[in-house]
Copies of this chain bind each other. A is one copy, B any other.
Amino acid sequence: MSYSELKEKVYEANMALVKAGLVVLTWGNASGVDRNQNVLAIKPSGVAYDDLRPDDMVVLSLSDGKIIEGKARPSSDTPTHLYLSQQFDSIGGIVHTHSTHGTSFAQALKDIPCLGTTHADNFYGTIPCTRPMKPEEIQSDYELNTGKVIVECFRSRNINPADVPGVLVASHAPFAWGATTEKAVENGIVLEFAAQMAMNSVAINPNISPVSQVLLDKHFLRKHGPKAYYGQGK
């Protein structure tokens, strides 16, 4: 993939977040990775979406974050995107939003429980909320440490980031990812929708439990892995 193709994809992902209603003001960003070329492209910091052009995307080295191409300052969340892309091999794209209900769960310091098949189709179980960050993690290298606390969350709870492609950062907001930038956007949309419906379902029935492992297996695996039978095949 050429840099310009990658930048186009990342631009499209950023605009798709806006179109899906997941972004208010400039609170959101999407990145994409090309592992062959060992680069990550990301939205510039604090630019209004109306003014954004594919060529504004900033291309960085995936290894050390040095800017390879682009005049603008990259998103202030770049160290989080870089660290996640370095640590989670399955990632081809990441989206970060402050989507209403996902962020409401993050602020409540609560996981999003898997209460139905809408959630299970894209997330193989609970979408975790990280532990709150420690003062020293906040005070320096905050955005890098945001990535580290996410990775810690998945490893300590033994969650595979390819199976659960999203997370809530405590007191902050969601990140979601996927094998491609398109899939990352889709997972960001599903996370928000699952959060909204989980909030409603608990209001309707405070005693509700997560779905059974059997139903979770059925829905996730009919869309993912060797036995998938959803869609038009390849």
Contacts and interface: CB of A to CB of B under 8 A. Distances in A.
Given A138-B214, A200-B199, A232-B47, A208 B107 contact: yes
B45 A232 contact: yes
Interface stretch (A7-15, A32-40, A80-88, A95-103): A95-103
Nearest to A76: B230
A203 B201 contact: no
A76 B222 contact: yes
Interface stretch (A60-68, A151-159, A185-193): A185-193
Interface in A43-82: 44-47, 72-73, 76
A137 B51 CA distance: 46
B186 A25 contact: yes
A3 interface: no
Given A107-B208, A190-B25, A171 B215 contact: yes
Interface residues of A, number: 61
Contact of A118 (B27, B44, B229): B27
A105 B115 CA distance: 11
A73 to B, nearest CB: 6
A2 to B, nearest CB: 25
A135 interface: yes
A137 to B, nearest CB: 9
B232 A72 contact: yes
A44 B233 CA distance: 12
Interface string A190-207: 100100111111111100
Interface string A99-135: 0110111111110000111100100000000001101
A58 to B, nearest CB: 11
